[in-house]
């Protein structure tokens, strides 16, 4: 099953889960309870902490839930804040951080690289958490739309349409989806 966040990232071949950690976890849990998929592929956009460039396509099966306050030593958590799904669906070891907030401080966001965390996506941690709970293989495919800096939102808006086209093309090239050429302008 292919899933996406929704809002700006709606595809005719994917189920929209909702934006952020809470909506996506609630809605994916409902799907898993009532129509358990064989696997979960989450697709969407991501912000880069600096290692990846705009429009890069990145696969991942690892996610974290680390807030900027943790990097500044202003917070700690007693819960597990990293998840890895052991799957043969992708070999990638990229880690995607998830939060309900978008990082806009370039210098602070680069500190994620010290923890070997490369990208930021609001939903991926909850998607992998639900998949792990239901013992469903899962992974994600992301297209970089912006860097995590003061221009994050502006660049996301500016690059989003082209990024989604590149993501769909990647999915077609990998034979994950098949879209008739006549429908490609509707994505």
Q: What does the alpha-carbon distance between residue 148 and residue 166 come to, in Å, rounded to a whole number?
A: 20
> Cα–chain-centroid distance for residue 58?
10
Give the model's pLDDT for residue 180.
61
Regions of the chain where pLDDT drops below 50: 182, 184-187
Triad 186, 59, 157: Cα angle to 5°: 45
What's the pLDDT score for residue 187?
47
From residue 172, how far is each of 13, 26, 43, 169, 180 by CA, in Å? Answer: 12, 29, 13, 5, 10
- What pLDDT score does 53 carry? 98
CA distance 53 to 33: 37
Dihedrals phi, psi of 9, to nearest 5 degrees: -115, 70
pLDDT confidence of residue 22:
96
How many other CB atoms are there within 10 angstroms of residue 143's CB atom?
26
CA-nearest of 105, 128, 108, 104 to 17 is: 128
The matching CATH number, chosen from 3.55.40.10, 3.30.479.30, 3.90.550.10, 3.40.50.1580, for 2-186 is: 3.40.50.1580
Q: What is the pTM of this model?
A: 0.92
Cα 18 to Cα 8, 9, 24, 105, 173: the distances in Å are: 10, 10, 5, 25, 27
Domain ranges of the chain: 2-186
Contact present, 5 and 16 (Cβ < 8 Å): yes
């Amino acid at each position: 099953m292919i899933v996406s966040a929704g809002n700006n990232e709606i595809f005719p071949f994917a189920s929209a889960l909702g934006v952020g950690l809470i909506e996506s976890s609630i809605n994916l849990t409902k799907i898993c309870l009532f129509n358990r998929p064989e696997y979960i592929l989450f697709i969407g956009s991501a912000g880069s902490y600096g290692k990846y460039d705009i429009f890069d396509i990145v696969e991942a099966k690892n996610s974290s839930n680390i807030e900027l306050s943790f990097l500044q030593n202003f917070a700690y958590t007693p819960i597990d804040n990293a998840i890895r799904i052991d799957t043969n669906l992708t070999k990638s070891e990229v880690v995607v951080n998830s939060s309900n907030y978008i990082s806009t401080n370039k210098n602070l966001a680069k500190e994620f690289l010290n923890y070997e965390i490369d990208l930021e996506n609001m939903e991926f941690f909850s998607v992998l958490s639900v998949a792990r709970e239901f013992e469903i293989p899962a992974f994600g495919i992301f297209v970089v739309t912006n860097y995590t800096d003061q221009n994050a939102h502006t660049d996301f808006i500016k690059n989003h349409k082209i990024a989604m086209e590149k993501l769909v093309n990647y999915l077609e090239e990998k034979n994950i989806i098949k879209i008739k050429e006549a429908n490609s302008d509707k994505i």
